[in-house]
């Protein structure tokens, strides 16, 4: 008891500086755990005592039957020892927005025991190309239950005709899709209507993207940007997904390549985006299996012409169903397809040349064409680790009516599978969202990863 008094520990909870929060009830912790707290506190948080308690503490906490929600757990040096800081304890319990508040000392993220799935979905489509969507309130629940705390909502810049019974353009070849502002208005109003559901610490914190810009008619873009930002102040912080070239849309009279001359005509609206710090995300197919780098000159023109803009190349730098990077070459191969090594080298060169250039890791096509192959996945892990500040997580999920929550969870898991292999720095910046926060100047900070035993 004297030791507890010296350390500033008061029983029952909350226990002094350790703040073990039990909503609506008082806690009973195992005596061994309390002894650890006292021992570490009085000893100043170092030495063998700290190591022993650090090893046993989390396991003891998991054994407490009435421990419903630990919102903050930290080991701090004893007040009697002058308050020197010690190593953080792992975060226990469900991850919430509280763990990302700037200035909050909430513990560290233990990759050895916690999920490797991203908490940020920077590429989420809440409405389909045509037909009704999954109800927005259901989508909020899907994101919360999946552990997604931050999301950027894209509209779909090309819509199927309102009299079409199609929800997906590939199911209706020959049916034209055309640029439309409908999705952008729908997304904004849905977000406002769901404000109560989004007001808890489960989030998700949501921003909106302007997706209706028609790159072939650049003079129409600024009026749309101004209209949406005036109607919904502070809600639209992103522009995209904008199609530079999308081969999958060719059969729907859309998606044809933008010319270099048209890129030069973007200057007025790209200047507006630069002035407001708004990132622009482009879908630009790199090529196809017959001509793997066919459209690279278009993307290079964008990067050279607008070096001060925050440009995001979607889908791991232009991968698509039309282009599958191959594993490293074998001597027996006759033809020369695009190898993953060549693709990664091309991206590396552009990341080195263009400091405002970022790459999005969305779409389960990446899983099917890259991540399932350990040799190919390792090539991109090396690239991600070399440029940890330049990548963003996302799913590219399209919430057409009839899709199930399990489908979203599967797509989130597939697009996150690469994160189990990346470095701690890359994991914090991409999967835990620090790059996303920095890009949008959000007042959140990703928790650090717990130190690993040597």
Rounded CA Rg of the chain = 25
pLDDT for residue 326: 81
Which pLDDT does position 162 carry in this prediction?
72
CB-CB contact of 188 with 236 (8 Å): yes
Q: pTM of the prediction?
A: 0.80
Q: At residue 289, does pLDDT exceed 60?
A: yes
Checking if the pLDDT of 433 tops 60, the result is: yes
- Mean pLDDT for 4-32 is 36
User: Which own/partner pairs from 174-177 qualify as long-range (CB within 8 Å, at least 24 positions apart)?
Assistant: 174/251, 174/252, 175/252, 176/252, 176/253, 176/254, 177/129, 177/249, 177/252, 177/253, 177/254
User: Smallest Cα–Cα separation from 86: which of 38, 36, 42, 46?
Assistant: 46
- Relative to beta strand 120-125, strand 158-159 is unpaired
The per-residue pLDDT of the chain, averaged, comes to 81
Cis peptide before 328 (omega within 30 of 0): no
pLDDT-wise least confident of 84-88, 256-260, 395-399: 84-88
| % of the chain residues with pLDDT over 70 | 76
Nearest alpha carbon to residue 129 among 177, 173, 174:
177
What was the pLDDT predicted at 160?
62
d(CA 290, CA 67): 59
Please say if the pLDDT value at position 445 is more than 90.
yes
Would the pLDDT of 88 be above 90? no
Tell me the mean pLDDT in the region 312-339.
75
The larger pLDDT score, comparing residue 54 to residue 344, is at 344
Residue 38 has pLDDT above 60, yes or no: no
The model's confidence at residue 272, banded by pLDDT at 50, 70 and 90, is: very high
Residue 196 has pLDDT above 80, yes or no: yes
Given this model, what pLDDT does residue 24 score? 38
The two structure tokens encoding residue 426? 């890359």
Which is nearest to 148 in space by CA: 438, 405, 421? Answer: 405
Q: Which residue has the higher pLDDT, 412 or 83?
A: 412
| Max mean pLDDT range (23-27, 48-52, 331-335, 354-358) | 354-358
Average pLDDT over every residue of 16-22: 35
**Better pLDDT: 261 or 311:** 311
Of the pLDDT bands very low, low, confident and very high (cuts 50, 70, 90), residue 35 is very low
- In order of 157, 170, 179, the CA distances from 19 in angstroms are 48, 54, 53
The least confident of 43-52, 238-247, 283-292 is: 43-52
Between CA 247 and CA 289 the distance in angstroms is: 12
Averaged pLDDT for residues 127-142: 93
- Using DSSP's 3-state secondary structure scheme, residue 54 falls into helix
**Which of 150-154, 252-256, 396-400 shows the lowest mean pLDDT across its residues?**
252-256
Q: Please tell me the predicted confidence (pLDDT) of residue 119.
A: 98
Q: Which pLDDT score, from 0 to 100, does residue 135 have?
A: 97
Residue 156 has pLDDT above 80, yes or no: yes
């Amino acid at each position: 008891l004297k030791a507890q008094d010296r350390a500033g520990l008061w029983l029952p909870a909350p226990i002094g500086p350790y703040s073990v929060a039990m909503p609506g009830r008082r806690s009973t912790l195992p005596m061994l755990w309390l002894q650890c707290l006292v021992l570490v506190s009085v000893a100043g948080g170092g030495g063998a005592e700290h190591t022993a308690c650090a090893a046993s503490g989390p396991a003891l906490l998991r054994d407490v039957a009435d421990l419903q929600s630990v919102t903050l757990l930290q080991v701090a040096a004893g007040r009697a020892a002058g308050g020197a800081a010690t190593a953080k304890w792992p975060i226990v319990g469900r991850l919430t927005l509280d763990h990302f508040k700037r200035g909050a000392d909430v513990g560290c993220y233990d990759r050895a025991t916690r999920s490797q799935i991203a908490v940020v979905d920077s590429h989420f489509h809440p409405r389909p190309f045509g037909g009704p969507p999954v109800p927005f309130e259901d989508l909020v629940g899907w994101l919360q239950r999946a552990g997604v705390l931050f999301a950027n909502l894209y509209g779909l810049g090309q819509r199927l005709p309102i009299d079409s019974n199609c929800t997906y353009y590939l199911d209706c070849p020959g049916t034209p899709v055309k640029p439309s502002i409908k999705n952008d208005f729908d997304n904004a109003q849905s977000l406002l209507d769901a404000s109560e559901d989004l007001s808890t610490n489960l989030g998700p914190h949501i921003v909106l993207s302007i997706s209706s810009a028609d790159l072939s008619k650049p003079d129409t873009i600024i009026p749309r940007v101004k209209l949406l930002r005036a109607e919904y102040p502070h809600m639209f912080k992103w522009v995209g997904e904008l199609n530079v070239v999308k081969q999958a849309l060719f059969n729907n009279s859309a998606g044809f390549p933008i010319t270099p001359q048209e890129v030069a005509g973007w200057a007025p609206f790209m200047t507006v985006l630069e002035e407001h710090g708004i990132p622009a995300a482009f879908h630009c197919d790199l090529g196809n299996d017959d001509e793997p780098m066919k459209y690279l000159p278009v993307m290079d023109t964008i990067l050279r012409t607008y070096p001060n803009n925050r440009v995001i190349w979607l889908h791991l730098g232009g991968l698509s169903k039309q282009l599958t990077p191959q594993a490293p070459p074998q001597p027996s191969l006759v033809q020369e397809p695009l190898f993953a090594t060549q693709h990664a080298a091309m991206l590396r060169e552009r990341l080195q040349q263009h400091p405002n250039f970022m790459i999005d890791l969305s779409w389960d096509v990446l899983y099917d064409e890259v991540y399932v192959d350990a040799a190919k996945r390792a090539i991109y892990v090396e690239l991600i680790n070399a440029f940890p500040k330049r990548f963003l997580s996302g799913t590219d999920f399209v919430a057409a009516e009839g899709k199930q929550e399990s489908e979203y969870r599967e797509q989130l898991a597939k697009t996150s599978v690469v994160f189990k292999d990346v470095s701690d720095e890359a994991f914090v910046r991409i999967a835990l969202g620090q790059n996303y926060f920095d890009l949008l100047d959000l007042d959140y900070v990703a928790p650090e990863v717990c130190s690993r035993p040597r």
